[in-house]
Amino acid sequence: MELDILAVFLATIAFGIIFKLPKRTLFNSGLAGVLGWGGYNLAFRFTHNQIFASFLGVVVITVIAEISARLLKEPATLFIVSGIIPLVPGSQAYFTMLNLIKKDYQAGFETGIETILIAGAISAGIIFVGVLARLKTNESNLR
């Protein structure tokens, strides 16, 4: 459990460095990653639905990102892009390709749909919170 948290934190920060985040935003993006991963696991334990769990995890990440964005006066994306890395369906995408190479189209179709649904849930989570965060600031921000 502790090792998992450490791994999520390190993964988020490592990808933050690859995307060249400003140094002072690294800790908060790591925090967003850890809490989002926690939210994902909690939701998965109760519902056993990977898509819903991904959505909830990303909602947590985006909420933390919006708060950090206001505290540190930085764009919220900075905290989101690396925070979602532990949740992206990288392994599903890989096995989709592998199944297609093996000409196992049935399995490929299944993993492919799963990949698309998880990716969709992640985008939906970001947009969901993003729209809510911009509801209060009127004028040009509302779009």
Partner 1 sequence: MAQQNVLLLVSLIGELLLKNGAETYRVEETIRKVGSAYDFVKTEVFALPTGLFISLEDKDSQSWTRIKRIKHQTTNLQKVSMVNDLSRQITTGQIEVNQALMELREINNHGDSYSAVTSYLAAGIGGVTFSYLVYGLRLELIPAFIGALLLEIWMHSNNINKFMAEVVSGGIASTIGIVSNYFYPVLDYNLIILGIIIILVPGVSITNAARDIIGGDSLAGIVRGMNALLTALAIALGVASILGVKILV
Distance CA 33, CA 70 (A): 18
Give, in order, the Cα–Cα distances in Å from 8 to each of 5, 38, 55, 58: 5, 10, 17, 14
As to burial, measured by CB atoms within 10 angstroms (0-12 exposed, 13-18 middle, 19+ buried), residue 43 is: buried
Name the minimum Å distance from CB 23 to partner 1.
Answer: 6
Distance CA 23, CA 19 (A): 11
Both tokens of 87, joined, read 């949740």
Residues that bind partner 1 (CB under 8 A): 3-4, 7-8, 10-11, 13-15, 17-23, 25, 37, 73-75, 77-78, 80-81, 84-86, 88, 90-91, 93-95, 97-98, 100-102, 119-120, 122-124, 126-127, 130, 140-141, 143
Name the minimum Å distance from CB 65 to partner 1.
Answer: 11
User: 20 or 48: whose CB is closer to partner 1?
Assistant: 20
Name the minimum Å distance from CB 141 to partner 1.
Answer: 8
User: 18 or 132: whose CB is closer to partner 1?
Assistant: 18
User: 48 or 139: whose CB is closer to partner 1?
Assistant: 139
Name the minimum Å distance from CB 9 to partner 1.
Answer: 9
Residues 125, 128, 131, 133, CA torsion sign? negative
